[in-house]
Chains A and B, each alone.
Chain A
Amino acid sequence: DAKTTQPNSMESNEEEPVHLPCNHSTISGTDYIHWYRQLPSQGPEYVIHGLTSNVNNRMASLAIAEDRKSSTLILHRATLRDAAVYYCILSPTGNQFYFGTGTSLTVIP
């Protein structure tokens, strides 16, 4: 299972953009980069995933470095509801995820 490295915690002011980094220097060519988040007392929730190109959806954007050894999840305007633990995960198939400890995001009103 390929390993990812994320900061333990980050803070952001409400309504400002948030950039959550993830390093994955041992990524293989078939690994997709997945992001999930987990709100308190909830199961994880899918955010976004990508392989090589940057991806956008209604929740966030995913910026993938050209060498694919790092990626950044971008929340365009943080709200209090975005306070959660964010997990960056590598998986070739999506059939099993190794979550790690993630980044705990605090949003300051």
Chain B
Amino acid sequence: DTGVSQDPRHKITKRGQNVTFRCDPISEHNRLYWYRQTLGQGPEFLTYFQNEAQLEKSRLLSDRFSAERPKGSFSTLEIQRTEQGDSAMYLCASSPRGGTEAFFGQGTRLTVV
């Protein structure tokens, strides 16, 4: 399967710890997105990369959140000093050059205890 891959699928962490998630987009997709989804809500946009450049960031992305996409391939999303309110599903998606369809991964479910 060559879809969007996210790792890990589940993460339980203690409040105050740092966590990092990885997203591998579909090969040759130049655009990559991160979203966050809490129970009963639709996904909320966090940030967007075109190749290695981070072009848009939501105001939801506080200083504790940082995302990178070195070399325009995989991406990482790090959350520092996690809080219980960070508990959510973190979704990654990618799109091909010139296309508007976004392909989503299955997400990483974060639980902060």
Cβ contact of A46, chosen from B41, B45, B102, cutoff 8 A = B102
Q: How far apart are the CA atoms of A93 and B97 in the complex, in Å?
A: 12
Task: Convert A72-109 into 0s and 1s, putting 1 for each residue whose CB lies closer than 8 angstroms to a CB of B.
Answer: 00000000000001010001011111111110000000
Binds A, one of B11-19, B62-70, B104-112: B104-112
Known contacts A95-B31, A96-B33, A96-B56: A43-B104 contact under CB 8 Å: yes
Q: Which residue of B lies closest to A93 (CB)?
A: B100
B79 in the interface (beta carbon within 8 A): no
Q: How far apart are the CA atoms of A41 and B89 in the complex, in Å?
A: 10
Chain B positions within 8 Å of A, measured between CB atoms, are 4, 31, 33, 40-45, 48, 55-56, 58, 91, 93, 95, 99-107
Q: Which residue of A lies closest to B100 (CB)?
A: A94
Interface residue tally of chain A, by bracket? 20 to 34
Q: Would A32 and B100 count as touching, CB distance under 8 A?
A: yes
Q: Which residue of B lies closest to A101 (CB)?
A: B42
Question: Min CB distance, B52 to chain A, in Å?
Answer: 16
Known contacts A96-B45, A98-B45, A99-B43: A45-B104 contact under CB 8 Å: yes
A68 in the interface (beta carbon within 8 A): no
Q: Would B48 and A95 count as touching, CB distance under 8 A?
A: yes
Known contacts A43-B93, A43-B106, A43-B107: A99-B100 contact under CB 8 Å: no
Q: Would B43 and A44 count as touching, CB distance under 8 A?
A: yes
**Chain B CB within 10 A, most for which of A45, A46, A101:** A46
B residues less than 8 Å from A36 (CB atoms): 102
A residues less than 8 Å from B58 (CB atoms): 96
B residues less than 8 Å from A91 (CB atoms): 100
A residues less than 8 Å from B31 (CB atoms): 95
A30 in the interface (beta carbon within 8 A): no
Question: Min CB distance, A88 to chain B, in Å?
Answer: 10
Question: Min CB distance, B105 to chain A, in Å?
Answer: 5
